[in-house]
Structure 1
């Protein structure tokens, strides 16, 4: 029987025809995604679901999706899909990470022009017959400094276009190397320097715990008087209340926003301000971009349903069906090792070195590499997947090296991931036990044996009495239950580490209490995706 696909959002007719041409039974209902009850009622009939942003694939929807094998999102963002629930259900989530990058970058440039020359206000005034020429004095872009926060796929295109406009470009991006910045023709700077120097600031980062309110009230206060701020990335990157105050005071001369903290944005503190340009999330809204991502998602979904090939999956590695059975636990291990280091590293990465020993060295190392690199980079960009991570790493000048060797230790096979920055090298090793569960076996050269949990706490300290008691007491007082407690040291009285598997995220106040004891050099909460 032919696979059945439901298209519940507006996809082009050409994309829908791709399914038909490949022999897939497609049901095109472009408005169904807006009716969650109706979607839940019918979703059980389909093998695939193709969507844009209107359809919300919740845990409740997935609970009814007994035959669903793949969800394809025409676009990058997958905030409208409950990915953990999809993983537990065994449903692959695919996106199209590169289909609308140029369109979004161009919109940011257009918004910068509109903000600099007050084009929307001037147009409205002229339409009203006012001819208020002296009212709309703008500024040139030439020779101005553009601060780009996030120099990834879209941000790098914005940098290139801005250089073509003869702007000076400074970029803040923890994963951008000096060499890559030089090749791009931009100056790599820290965030505070960017804020102090930029005449225009444009954001091109995903919304994560690290980037939420990256332009906070405090950071907006650090900007140059007369700065103009453009956000075509994600709502929530800018404190909108603080920005409104800065616009009213004149500290910020103008702003141009395509995205908002709450969408659809029927009302917002920025609306109605005379020096603000607003558009309704149009970053990817061009004919070319919409067609590109629609065609791409249709091809990807058809390939998977007909041949089992996996592309641009956010929750499954790109490996063949034969490899998946053996490699699954090792791919999860690679992701965990990368995620561990990625969450500890907040400085530019120059190189990622991955060592494979024993049985691990005989597997699909490209897939394992991709899983490790993806784990590292997801710490700053949750939309990265195994396909896009190596591309993004290459774009940012990160060197990836692989070494394989025959069995050399007590384990049948193991992996070791090392990240190199200008300041340090950081490494972690792991293996897969016979039960198929990944384990951490070495951190900072210190041997351990630690189970991987969804919520963990990592500390470093000198090997002195009182560490175990302090950790137990502070966490206990905070109501944090410890599921597993692993310790290691390199020598008596030397460097020591502790890795705790806890039942819930450790609150910032508890972390601060541990830091305030003066016993710990580092106290770091870690999160892992446990399928």
Structure 2
């Protein structure tokens, strides 16, 4: 029986043709994604679901999708898909990371021009029979400084276009190396310096816990008077109420906004402000981009449904069916090693070394490296996957090295990840025991044996008496339950570490109290995906 795919959003007809070419039955209902109840009633009939942004793939929908095997998102962002819920049900979630990069970058450049020269307002005025030549006094972009927040695939295209327009580009991206910055012709800076220097600021970063509200009242206060802000990335990166106040006061001279906190945005305080250009999430809306992402998602979904091949999956490694059973637990291990370092690293990453010792050296190390990079990058770029992670690392100029060696310790095989930044070097090693679960066996050169928990707290301190009591006392005072506790040190009186296993995320107020003590050098809450 041929697989069935539902297309519930407006996709190019090219996608339908590709599905049919592969022998897949297609049900094209481009408005169904807006009807949650109807979609819920029929979703169990399909093996695949092809969407854009209108369809919300919620846990409720996933639970009703008893036959669903794959969700394909024609575009980059997958924030409209409950990925943990899909993973638990064994449903693969795919996206098309690079199909609309040029289109989105060009829209950002168009917004810069529109805001600089007040083109929409001037157009409306002229159409109304007015000739307000002196009212619309714009600014040149030549010679101005453009601040690019997020210099990945789209941000780097924007930077290159802006340099061609004779703008000076400064960029902030934790994963942008100095070498890659020089290749692009941009100046790599910290975020506060970008705020202080930029005449225009454009956002090209995904929406994560670290980037949510990155443009707020405090950030705007650090900017130049008369700065102009462009957001064609994700709603939620800009605190809209703070931007409105800054626009009204004149602190921000203009804004170009393509994405909003709540979409579709039929009402918004930014609307009707004379110094704001708003568009209805048009970043990827060109004929070329629609064709590209439609073709990509249809090909990927077809290959999976017909051949079992996995490409650009958010929640599934790209590995063959033969090696999957043995490799899967080590894929998880590599991801959590990367996730550990990614969550404790704030500086730009320059070098990554992955050592495969013993039995791991004979595995599909390319997949394992991709998994480690995905875990490493995911705290900054939430929709990264094993396919896109190596590309993102390369784009940012990260130097990657791999070492394979014979068994050198008590473990049959283990993986060691070492990451170098401009400030320090961090290393972590782990293995998989007979239960198939990943374990940390070394952190900062300190040996230990620690399971991986969903919610953890990692602390560093000097090996002095009273640390256990201090951690326990502060946690107990605030009702933070410690499920388990692992300690390690390099020598008596030397460096020591602690890993606390928690029932819930570590509260921010308790973290600040802990950091304020003289005994704790650093403390970092960690979160790991421990699903199978």
- Normalising to structure 1: TM-score of the pair? 0.99
CA distance in structure 1 between the partners assigned to 2:49 and 2:477 by the alignment = 47
Residue range with higher mean Cα deviation, 337-346 or 210-219: 210-219
Q: Indicate conservation of the 8 Å contact 1:312/1:386, yes or no.
A: yes
Corresponding residue SS for 1:30: coil
Q: Indicate conservation of the 8 Å contact 1:103/1:285, yes or no.
A: yes
Residue range with higher mean Cα deviation, 40-49 or 106-115: 40-49
2:56 alignment partner in structure 1: 56
Q: Tell me the alpha carbon deviations over residues 407-455 of structure 1, each in whole angstroms, 9 at most, x when there is no partner.
A: 1111111000000111111000000000100001100000011110111
CA distance in structure 1 between the partners assigned to 2:66 and 2:239 by the alignment = 41
Q: Give the alignment of 1:138-287 within 5 angstroms.
A: 138-287=138-287
CA distance in structure 2 between the partners assigned to 1:479 and 1:361 by the alignment = 44
Structure 1: unaligned runs, 5 residues or longer: none
CA distance in structure 1 between the partners assigned to 2:151 and 2:309 by the alignment = 31
Residue 304 of structure 2 is aligned to residue 307 of structure 1: no
- Computed over aligned residues only, the root mean square deviation of the Cα atoms, in angstroms, reads 0.9
Deviation at 1:488, TM superposition (A): 0.2
1:474 alignment partner in structure 2: 474
Q: Tell me the alpha carbon deviations over residues 343-389 of structure 1, each in whole angstroms, 9 at most, x when there is no partner.
A: 11111111100000111111100000000001000010001110001
1:15 alignment partner in structure 2: 15
CA distance in structure 2 between the partners assigned to 1:276 and 1:508 by the alignment = 36
Deviation at 1:165, TM superposition (A): 0.3
CA distance in structure 2 between the partners assigned to 1:179 and 1:201 by the alignment = 22
Deviation at 1:476, TM superposition (A): 2.1
Q: Tell me the alpha carbon deviations over residues 108-147 of structure 1, each in whole angstroms, 9 at most, x when there is no partner.
A: 0000000000000000000000111111011111111111
CA distance in structure 1 between the partners assigned to 2:7 and 2:262 by the alignment = 26
2:333 alignment partner in structure 1: 333
Deviation at 1:240, TM superposition (A): 1.7
Deviation at 1:268, TM superposition (A): 1.7
Corresponding residue SS for 1:500: strand
CA distance in structure 2 between the partners assigned to 1:401 and 1:77 by the alignment = 30
2:494 alignment partner in structure 1: 494
Residue range with higher mean Cα deviation, 213-222 or 474-483: 474-483
Corresponding residue SS for 1:131: coil
CA distance in structure 1 between the partners assigned to 2:497 and 2:297 by the alignment = 45
2:370 alignment partner in structure 1: 370
2:342 alignment partner in structure 1: 342
2:401 alignment partner in structure 1: 401
Deviation at 1:518, TM superposition (A): 1.8
1:77 alignment partner in structure 2: 77
CA distance in structure 2 between the partners assigned to 1:19 and 1:9 by the alignment = 15
2:519 alignment partner in structure 1: 519
CA distance in structure 1 between the partners assigned to 2:380 and 2:262 by the alignment = 22
Q: How many residues align?
A: 531
Deviation at 1:216, TM superposition (A): 1.6
1:26 alignment partner in structure 2: 26
Deviation at 1:226, TM superposition (A): 1.2
Deviation at 1:479, TM superposition (A): 2.1
CA distance in structure 2 between the partners assigned to 1:115 and 1:291 by the alignment = 29
Q: Indicate conservation of the 8 Å contact 1:73/1:95, yes or no.
A: yes
1:100 alignment partner in structure 2: 100
Corresponding residue SS for 1:181: helix
Corresponding residue SS for 2:430: strand
Corresponding residue SS for 2:322: helix
CA distance in structure 2 between the partners assigned to 1:4 and 1:435 by the alignment = 37
CA distance in structure 1 between the partners assigned to 2:25 and 2:249 by the alignment = 58
CA distance in structure 2 between the partners assigned to 1:299 and 1:73 by the alignment = 12
Deviation at 1:517, TM superposition (A): 2.1
CA distance in structure 2 between the partners assigned to 1:206 and 1:326 by the alignment = 33
CA distance in structure 2 between the partners assigned to 1:473 and 1:45 by the alignment = 55
Q: Tell me the alpha carbon deviations over residues 13-68 of structure 1, each in whole angstroms, 9 at most, x when there is no partner.
A: 22111111101111111111112222121111211111111111111111111111
2:410 alignment partner in structure 1: 410
2:297 alignment partner in structure 1: 297
Q: Indicate conservation of the 8 Å contact 1:427/1:445, yes or no.
A: yes
Deviation at 1:478, TM superposition (A): 2.0
CA distance in structure 1 between the partners assigned to 2:458 and 2:157 by the alignment = 37
Q: Indicate conservation of the 8 Å contact 1:451/1:484, yes or no.
A: no
- Normalising to structure 2: TM-score of the pair? 0.99
Structure 2: unaligned runs, 5 residues or longer: none
CA distance in structure 1 between the partners assigned to 2:500 and 2:315 by the alignment = 25
CA distance in structure 2 between the partners assigned to 1:372 and 1:393 by the alignment = 11
